[in-house]
Amino acid sequence: MGVRRTAAERMKAANAALRAEVRRRRSAETELRRSAREIQRYARRLLAVREEEKRNLAAALHHELGSLSVGLAAGLHAARLALPPGAADARRRLEETEAILRGTVSRLRDTAVDLRPADLDAMGLKAALRATVERLSRLVPVRIRLGCRLGDTPLSPSASIAVYRIAQEALTNCLKHASPHRISLDVRVLKDTVRLSVTDDGRGFDPARTNGRGTDRHLGLQAMREMVRSLGGEFTLHSKPGRGTRLHVRLPVDGNGAGGGE
C-alpha cells in the first residue's frame, strides 16, 4: 500500500508540474504574441510619422523652391538684359548660371517627388507608381514594365505607402547595382492581400554575401524587410550572379498582419 501511494503521489506531482509548465508556456506565448502586436503597432506609427514628416518637407521644399527659383531667374534675366552690347563674356557667364539654376531646380523637384509624390495623395497608388516608372524611364535607357491590378479592394494608407516605398527602393536598387536591360514591376490585390514583385535581368548577386554588410544594397534591402515585417507581411528575395533578381512582397491590405519572413 505504501509503495502504491508513493507512486500515485509521484504521478500526481508530475501531472501538477506538467500542467503548471503548460500554463507557463501558454502564458509566455500569449505575452510573446502581445509583444509582437505592440511592436508592429509602434512600427506602423513610426512609418506614419516618417511619411508625415516627408510630406511636410516636400511641401515646404516645393513652395520655397518655386518662390526662390522664380526670383533668381528673374534677377539673372534682368541682369543679362542690362548688359551693354560688348559684354559677350559676361552674357555667356550669366547664361551658364541660368542653365545651372534650371538643372538644380529640376533635381530638387525630383527630390521633393521622391520625398512624397503628389500623385500618391491626389490620385492614389497606381498613378504614383506610373509617374515613378515614367520618370525613371526618362533618366535611364532601361525598359521598365508596370503591371498594376488593384481591383475594388481599398488599401489602407500604411499599405499604400509601403508598396510605393518598396517599389521605389527596389527600382532604385536595380538601376544602381544590377545594370539591367529590363525590369518588371507588378502589383496586384488578391482578396485581403496586396502582392508586389520586382524582377530584373541584371547581373544578380549572392544575397548571403550582403548580410551584415553596410553597403547601399544591403541597407536598401534591410529597410524593405523591416517595413514589410512591421506591417505583418512577407518578404522573399531570389538572386544569383548572372541570373537577375526576383523580389516578392505580400502585405495585408489593411496594413495589419501576423508577421512573415523570407
- pLDDT score at 63: 67
- pLDDT score at 24: 84
Residue 45 lies in a domain: no
Spatial distance between the Cα atoms of 187 and 249, rounded to a whole number of angstroms: 9
- pLDDT score at 19: 83
Residue 161 lies in a domain: yes
Residue 2 lies in a domain: no
Residue 36 lies in a domain: no
Non-local (6+) Cβ contacts of 39 within 8 A are: 230
Q: Is the pLDDT reported for residue 239 higher than 60?
A: yes
pLDDT tier for residue 9 given thresholds of 50, 70 and 90: confident
Specify whether the CB–CB gap between 200 and 245 falls below 8 A: yes
Residue 243 lies in a domain: yes
The domain tally of the chain equals 1
State percent of the chain over pLDDT 90: 23
C-alpha grid cell, residue 197? 514583385
Residue 7 lies in a domain: no
- pLDDT score at 262: 45
Q: What is the residue-wise DSSP string for 14-76?
A: HHHHHHHHHHHHHHHHHHHHHHHHHHHHHHHHHHHHHHHHHHHHHHHHHHHHHHHHHHHHHHH
Burial of residue 65, with CB atoms counted within 10 A of its CB: 0-12 exposed, 13-18 middle, 19 or more buried? middle
Q: What is the mean pLDDT of residues 131-141?
A: 88
Residue 147 lies in a domain: yes
- pLDDT score at 4: 59
Non-local (6+) Cβ contacts of 80 within 8 A are: 91, 94, 95, 98
Query: pLDDT tens digit string along 68-125?
Result: 777 888 888 788 888 888 888 888 888 888 888 888 877 777 777 667 676 677 778 8
- pLDDT score at 211: 58
Average of per-residue pLDDT values in the chain: 81
H helices of the chain, in order, are: 2-81, 88-115, 118-122, 125-139, 157-173, 216-230
Residue 133 lies in a domain: yes
* CATH number for the domain harbouring residue 129: 3.30.565.10
262: containing domain:
119-262
Q: Which strand (E) or helix (H) includes residue 184? A: strand 182-190
Cα 123 from chain centre: 19
Q: What is the mean pLDDT of residues 139-163?
A: 88
Q: Which strand (E) or helix (H) includes residue 205? A: none
pLDDT tier for residue 226 given thresholds of 50, 70 and 90: confident
Residue of 175, 119, 167 lying closest to 147 (CA atoms) = 167
Q: Is the pLDDT reported for residue 133 higher than 80?
A: yes
Query: pLDDT tens digit string along 30-60?
Result: 887 777 677 767 666 776 677 677 777 766 6
